[in-house]
């Protein structure tokens, strides 16, 4: 499992290690005895028990069999998969192409009713035009994905945007002013994108804020993130995709969002910034 900067992932690994340790103790085994039954070194059992090394699915099956608890193996494997899914490198998530990665997120978007999104790099996906999405995903594909299914992935993302108008959902988007001027896809694509944001920003269930560039700024930009209700935060880093479910961490991101919202411009003021960015490209 890749190392994660999140305590959510660490706690998930720790919970799995604790369950395995309990099985060992309930079976009346020491770590050495369990290692002997599994044909491992003693140090391997110790590393797993102390959450220093994640077990494989086969390790879990062998552990449960050694403890006479084979019926618990599948539940523990499910715990392992959840822990692994909290931090996923892009190369692993996108090894089958971009379409599947886009499809995997749809259930989360469908069950969420309140969305909060902060973006310091790009226009958030739900606000993107088809041309902008194509430019973004094509750049991603060229950089790190061997499979070229960009057209299919674009179609999936466009279809996902129906959540903007279904189910009484609420959306709050914050973007850095630099996002308005980064030129993704060229000036024609960017101009269309800026006009599209003004249109969506007028919808009653959408709040659009722009964090302005200023010389006296006190709140630093941070990594882009999505908050889904109060259940989950997703963070997209250069190296991978992070899922956060620990309540204390979700609170930290919610507080950060609120602080950024306080310094952002909304309504007519935000639209003026967008119009200014568009005017500079014409």
Q: Do residues 86 and 243 make contact, with C-beta atoms less than 8 angstroms apart?
A: yes
| pTM assigned to the model | 0.76
Q: Give pLDDT < 70 ranges for the chain.
A: 1-9, 85
SS3 217: coil
Q: Do residues 256 and 211 make contact, with C-beta atoms less than 8 angstroms apart?
A: no
pLDDT, position 8: 63
Report the distance separating Cα 73 and Cα 65, nearest Å: 8
Give the list of residues 6+ apart from residue 279 with CB closer than 8 angstroms, or none: none
CA 30 to chain centroid, in Å, comes to 39
Q: Do residues 171 and 115 make contact, with C-beta atoms less than 8 angstroms apart?
A: yes
Question: How big is the chain, counted in residues?
Answer: 282
Task: Convert the pLDDT of each residue in 25-40 to its tens digit.
Answer: 999 999 999 999 999 9
Residue with token string 């306080």? 262
């Amino acid at each position: 499992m890749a190392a994660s900067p999140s305590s959510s992932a660490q706690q998930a690994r720790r919970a799995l290690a604790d369950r395995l340790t309990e099985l060992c103790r309930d079976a009346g085994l020491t770590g050495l005895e369990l290692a002997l039954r599994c044909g491992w070194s003693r140090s391997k059992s110790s590393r797993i028990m102390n959450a220093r090394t994640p077990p494989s699915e086969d390790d879990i099956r062998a552990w449960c069999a050694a403890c006479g608890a084979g019926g618990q193996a599948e539940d523990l494997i499910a715990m392992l998969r959840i822990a692994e899914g909290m931090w996923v490198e892009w190369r692993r998530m996108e090894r089958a192409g971009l379409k599947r990665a886009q499809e995997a997120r749809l259930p989360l978007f469908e069950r969420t009713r309140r969305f909060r999104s902060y973006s310091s790099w790009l226009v958030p996906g739900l606000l993107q035009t088809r041309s902008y999405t194509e430019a973004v995903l094509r750049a991603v594909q060229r950089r790190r994905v061997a499979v070229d299914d960009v057209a299919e992935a674009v179609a999936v993302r466009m279809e996902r945007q129906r959540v903007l108008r279904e189910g009484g959902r609420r959306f709050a988007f914050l973007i850095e002013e630099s996002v308005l001027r980064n030129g993704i896809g060229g000036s024609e694509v960017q101009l269309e994108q800026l006009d599209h944001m003004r249109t969506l920003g007028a919808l009653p269930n959408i709040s659009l804020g722009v964090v302005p560039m200023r010389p006296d700024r006190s709140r630093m930009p941070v990594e882009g993130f999505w908050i889904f209700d109060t259940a989950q935060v997703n963070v997209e880093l250069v190296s991978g995709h992070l899922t956060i479910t620990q309540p204390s961490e979700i609170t930290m991101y919610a507080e950060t969002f609120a602080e950024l919202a306080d310094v952002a411009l909304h309504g007519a003021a935000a639209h003026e910034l967008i119009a200014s960015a568009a005017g500079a490209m014409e």
